[in-house]
Amino acid sequence: MRRELLEETGYKPSEVIFLGPPLFMATRNSWTRFHPFLAKGCRKVKEAKVDLSEEIEVISTPLEEWILLALSELIEPSAIVTTFRSLPYLGYEFTKT
């Protein structure tokens, strides 16, 4: 995960947290799985090196703004799952009622 992040974005994390077992992508007809991770303390250390077939855009968004986007717009379901699994590691607490 560290290598892919560095290669495809140019960012190097100070900490990587595994967020649970691989999950299936949201589409019903896909057997593709994704592995959720949280990369903390990322800093840009080099330019991204992507394959010609890849199209990657890095956008920095404050967490609260990202959560509002996830609640109000069509965001990739795997990104939403990863976001909510990350929240306890970012200081958010949840209680059962």
* 96 in any annotated domain: no
Q: What integer pLDDT is reported at residue 94 of this predicted model?
A: 83
Q: How many domains does the chain have?
A: 1
Domain containing residue 16: CATH number: 3.90.79.10
Residues of the chain with pLDDT under 70: 26-28
Enclosing domain of residue 47? 2-90
pTM score, whole prediction: 0.81
- Whether 50 and 8 have beta carbons less than 8 Å apart is answered as yes
Q: What integer pLDDT is reported at residue 27 of this predicted model?
A: 63
The burial class, CB within 10 Å (0-12 / 13-18 / 19+), for 13 is middle
* 97 in any annotated domain: no
